[in-house]
Chains A and B, each alone.
Chain A
Amino acid sequence: MRRRLPAAVATAVGTIVLLSFFTLNPVIRGITAFLTHTAMIVAAFAFLLGVLNVLLVHVRKIGQRQSGWGYSLALVVVMLVVLLLGRPGTQGPADSGVEWILRNVQIPLQATFFSLLAFFVVTASYRALRTRPRETSLMLLVAAIVLLGQTPLGPKIWDQFPALKDWILAVPTTAGVRGILLGTALGTVATGIRLLTLTDRERYFK
């Protein structure tokens, strides 16, 4: 019963929502709207559950003095401060204190970590050249053409760089990405059908 009931509920809900795409029946559409609203509520609770889980994990780590408990302490402290600043009764996320932390702490830190990517690209390209020089040379040649076509430096070297860049992005790149997207979509459809037909019930409802 523990496995059959969730499987039955998932199958019924998925079938109704799928039918709403193929019919204009108001009953089905009404049920679909109710189910989607319910799913949004469940997603919101899942988000809250994630926050509580993070708190529990790091509090346990602090209590047991595990390795790196100092970082856990900093995380818990900042989390509690932001929660207190945006508690109900205040302006919430738009509170000035929360805004200050976001603008002066999180955004600079997040942008800094992402900016390191540029330096690693140079090292990665050098290593790729040493391991697979032929393939990497071809890839770097195309990347150089696209980079020069996107920046003002390219037209100053050769005025056809922008056009060449547009062709590369429009033809071979689009073809490859389109194939990937189609394959992903077909895989998603197959997985959904397996789930709705309970073909893979042992994996999902075990």
Chain B
Amino acid sequence: MCGAPNDAYNIACTRCGARLVPLTPGDLPEDTKPAGPTPQPEGPPAEPAAQDQPPPVEPVVEPEPTARPRFSEETASPLSRLFPRPERTSEETIEGESEWAEPETIEPVDLAARLSHVLGEDASAPAAESAGAQPTPESEMDAALVDDDHAASSPQSPDDETVPDWLRSPLEESVALADSEDAEPTPLPGWLQDSEESVSTALGAGATGWGKAEDEEWGVPDDSPQSEPDTGIPSWLLPADAKDQPPPPDADAAPEPEMATLPDWLKSLQPEATSFADKVEEALQRAESTSGLLTGVHGALPVEPIIAMPHIVGRVQESAVVEDARAGKLLMRLLTGRQPAERAVTAERRPFPWRAIGHLVLLLALIVPLLVDSTLFNIEQSPAPAQALYSTVEAIPEDSFVLIAFDYEADLAGEMEPQAEAIMRHLRSRNQRIGAISLFPQGPFLAQQAWNRVSQDQADAQYGQSFVNLGFLVGREVGLRTLAQGPLQLDRPDFVRGQTLQNFPALAGVKGLEDIQLIVLIGARPDAIRWWVEQVGSHDSQKPLVAAVPASVEPAVRPYYHSGQLRGLISGLMGAADYDLQTGRPPAGGAAIDALTLGTAAVLLLIAVSALFTLVTHRRGADQRT
């Protein structure tokens, strides 16, 4: 094949005359058509069916010199003997072939026929039974082919203009051979002897899968186990039963060179399969399907490992530039005798401690007034809730029992104790009996501390007479519900002395909630105020409740005051100072008020500065972006 482009409908190449269409039994003349199935195309053949099993392999013998040519001797020209033109039936006509008239100069080459002719097959051997239809030229192309065949089959002198020079000598020999019927087959030239053997062995032993008759017609040696199939014949060309038989050794053939083995020291230097493709190949070689349809099949592509196998990145080679740079630095150091200039390591700049300065300012604003005991600021007016609380306490008859709930703990004691002391002093000034109770474990202790401070100013204030500590009330809402519903548990011990409550004069005549004239709620949490309002206030809506809360809790308690559930409300240090002023006493915690005021001013100042700073930075950033 010369590789020249040809039309799809060409049977032979227009340049070299090579056949482009595979031969079929219909292409052969009637007398030379082999009997049997059509030749198989190239490629792995399908597994033969049971009924199509080729005949058993017979021992291969030397090819008989009586190879029958494909065309009759009478019409075969020397050229046609070398390049016989196959006949084709109308059924086997290639589509579109009639449209293209075969050029007269085209000489299709039939290698099999040529070789069989060279091997000296008897051209007049009777044709075997043909399985296919007899070729009958029906189309114009076939007629042309037949005419050409006839023309080509006629003996032609070597002086014919169509015969190339390089074929003249062998052509003359073939003509002479064809003329002499008794001519013995001429010995093959050397270059053909080897090919003869290879072809005979390749075509022998049933390699084609055809029947024995076909092998005889085509000059193929009989199938025999003694043949030498070990000449590189693909396994798919061998019949099924022949594949299992080990190839017999070839006594005459040259011994095949042994596979070289690598020495151990060289094997150790072999690079390991590091590439992804190598690893995949190894995995495929090791892989053997153990389940599914591909059980036992080696080399089946495993899906999961391939998908899950990460892409292995090759080792990154160190850049040669780095090595050169190091070598250059070393050279410079050796030449100049000094260390190369190192880049100065700049210390990391620490941010300006704005936060620490702000905290320091706030700390000074809080501590300085406490240290100097200043009284810079005074209370000038009282809010309405504080006035309402004062009025409520003033409305209670003297020598009444007032219950104070100390529902706060140590964290807010600094803000709640001034409120509790102010209210307790006011109550004591009206000779009221006070009972302390708490819903929190620390409450009774803090209540006792507040009483200790208040009683220092009053000589007639004695524990048990004017004040009794009822202790801790368990259960929060449940405990308040019990307090509201049932009688006061006077058989329980008090917090200080451990004596039963009924023994204290302060509780004389007090048996239940109805005997309590006022309930003061000193609560640090809005939940505590809510529990009292829900459990006790709902039981007796006429019972006056007043509250003292931190300044941070006042917004959450205000709805109870505005709804009337709380009769009065004070909040924070300012509320305690304001209540003291209403009772005619100097405000408690003057220095604390100054510290609170200055601390508030410092906080507002810092917030203003941070707001201004944020505004400036935002504008700068917006300007830079624009």
Contacts and interface: CB of A to CB of B under 8 A. Distances in A.
B381 interface: yes
Contacts of A70: none
A147 B600 contact: yes
* A interface residue count range (under 10 / 10 to 19 / 20 to 34 / 35 or more): 35 or more
Contacts of A140: 607, 611
B411 A110 contact: yes
Interface in B299-330: none
A14 to B, nearest CB: 13
Contact of B556 (A37, A144, A177): A177
B605 to A, nearest CB: 10
A102 interface: yes
B474 A47 contact: yes
Interface string B538-564: 000000000000010011101100100
Contacts of B409: 110
Given A119-B359, A125-B607, A152-B379, A174 B558 contact: yes
A184 B517 CA distance: 31
Interface stretch (A4-12, A59-67, A89-97, A197-205): A89-97
A178 B561 CA distance: 11
Contact of A111 (B413, B478, B495, B559): B413
A178 B414 contact: no
Contacts of B378: 152
A5 B476 CA distance: 26
B475 interface: yes
B478 A43 contact: yes
B485 interface: yes
A27 interface: no
A184 to B, nearest CB: 9
B485 A36 contact: yes
A40 B474 contact: yes
Contacts of B195: none
Interface stretch (B10-18, B97-105, B442-450): B442-450
A162 B384 CA distance: 11
B482 A177 contact: no
Contact of A129 (B380, B381, B445, B610): B610
B388 interface: no
Contact of B377 (A92, A148, A152, A181): A152
Given A91-B498, A150-B551, A178-B559, A133 B485 contact: no
B603 A94 contact: no
Contact of B596 (A107, A114, A151, A155): A151
* B interface residue count range (under 10 / 10 to 19 / 20 to 34 / 35 or more): 35 or more
A56 interface: no
B620 interface: no
Interface string B612-625: 00110010000000
B593 interface: yes
Given A40-B474, A44-B474, A91-B498, A147 B559 contact: no
A52 interface: no
Contacts of A119: 359, 362-363
A106 B441 CA distance: 13
Contacts of A107: 410, 413
B475 A43 contact: yes
A130 interface: yes
Given A36-B478, A40-B482, A118-B362, A147 B604 contact: yes
Contact of B485 (A29, A39, A47, A170): A29
A91 B469 CA distance: 13
A137 B384 CA distance: 29
A126 B610 contact: yes
A170 B413 contact: no
Contacts of B448: 94
B558 A169 contact: yes
Interface in A95-121: 99, 102-103, 106-107, 110-111, 113-114, 118-119, 121
Contacts of B413: 107, 111
A152 B481 CA distance: 41
B380 A152 contact: yes
Contacts of B600: 147-148, 150-151, 153
Contacts of A106: 410, 442
A166 B607 contact: no
A110 B445 CA distance: 15
B24 interface: no
Given A94-B448, A129-B610, A152-B378, 20 more contacts: A40-B482, A43-B474, A94-B496, A107-B410, A111-B414, A114-B412, A118-B362, A118-B599, A121-B603, A150-B551, A151-B574, A151-B600, A152-B379, A152-B593, A153-B377, A153-B600, A174-B559, A177-B556, A177-B558, A177-B559
10 closest Cβ pairs, A-B complex = A152-B377, A114-B411, A107-B410, A110-B410, A126-B610, A43-B475, A40-B475, A173-B555, A151-B597, A110-B411
Interface of B: 355, 358-359, 362-363, 366, 377-381, 383-384, 409-414, 442, 444-445, 448-449, 474-476, 478-479, 481-482, 485-486, 495-498, 530, 551, 554-556, 558-559, 562, 572, 574, 593, 596-597, 599-601, 603-604, 606-607, 610-611, 614-615, 618
Interface of A: 29, 32-33, 36-37, 39-40, 43-44, 47, 91-94, 99, 102-103, 106-107, 110-111, 113-114, 118-119, 121-123, 125-126, 129-130, 133, 137, 140, 144, 147-148, 150-153, 155, 162, 166, 169-170, 173-174, 177-178, 181
13 contacts: A29-B485, A93-B495, A99-B445, A118-B366, A121-B603, A122-B359, A126-B610, A144-B604, A150-B572, A151-B596, A151-B597, A166-B384, A174-B562
